[in-house]
Amino acid sequence: MSVHLNAKPGQIAETVLLPGDPLRAKHIAENFLENAEQHNDVRGMLGYTGTYKGHRISVQGSGMGIPSISIYVNELIRDYGCKKLIRVGTCGAYHEDVKVRDVILAQAASTDSQINNIRFGGRNFAPIADFELLHQAYLAAKRAGKAVRVGNIFSSDTFYNDHPDHYKIWAQFGVLGVEMEAAGLYTIAAKYGVQALTILTVSDHLVTGEATSSMERQTSFNDMVQIALEAAIAEKE
């Protein structure tokens, strides 16, 4: 047990998929894992553990924003010994050639969060994905014939921004889209020397205004989950 997880010792696998939405965790457990059992219900942040192709995998809701995912990632690593953390989230796209429902592998995460500014005394840390996981996710996508984009994304502290045009400077520097957690996940994984990756499905578009429904964000985007699971179980090359 930890402060925000009531799983018993050993109930959470070393590999954990992390959707922000706890109901997406339930959807993944019910549709992708075998013999899935719920391991967490604290604060309704559902978590499950089952198997995928014979490998033990957990899926744990992480909530929205860097403060929330940081709580779960700290406890998963420190209290449950988790070693491979793959966020499966949604994002807004910054470029016209990145389409709604496209999948993005987040190679790095820029941010406006002040957490790392405080942590590193005003100097900049570059939060990056684990290369092996990124590589395996890319290969898994290729094998499945799914096109993916790989690049920098923006982990924002706000969903509703008072300066909606601010995204354009990130777009100009090649950042593919916006979500709210990856920079926190990558930083904490680096601190503890564990593997982390963020895989995102584009749920809405800042340029075109196109958007998916909240139900689709909860229950679909299966390509991303498949890629995450295949990357999670891939043997190191």
Ligand X SMILES: O=c1cc[nH]c(=O)[nH]1
Q: Which positions are annotated as active-site residues? A: 204
Question: Residue 60: which H helix or E strand, with range?
Answer: strand 55-60
Measured CA to CA, the distance from residue 199 to residue 204 in angstroms comes to 15
**Binding pattern for the stretch 179-208 against ligand X, x by CB under 6 A and - elsewhere:** xx----------------------xx----
Q: Are 185 and 73 in contact (CB under 8 A)?
A: yes
99 burial (CB, 10 Å; 0-12 / 13-18 / 19+) is middle
Residues 17-76 touching ligand X, rule: CB under 6 A, are none
Candidates 13-21, 26-34, 139-147, 191-199; binding stretch for ligand R1P (CB under 6 A): 13-21
33-36, Cβ contacts within 8 angstroms, sequence gap of 24 or more = 33/57, 33/59
Site string for ligand R1P, 97-136 (x = CB under 6 A): ----------------------------------------
- Report the largest interatomic distance among the alpha carbons of the chain, rounded to a whole angstrom: 48
- Choose between 156 and 187: whose C-beta lies nearer to ligand X: 156
State which residue, 9 or 218, has the beta carbon closest to ligand R1P. Answer: 218
Site for ligand R1P, rule CB under 6 A: 19-21, 64, 89-90, 159, 179-181, 217
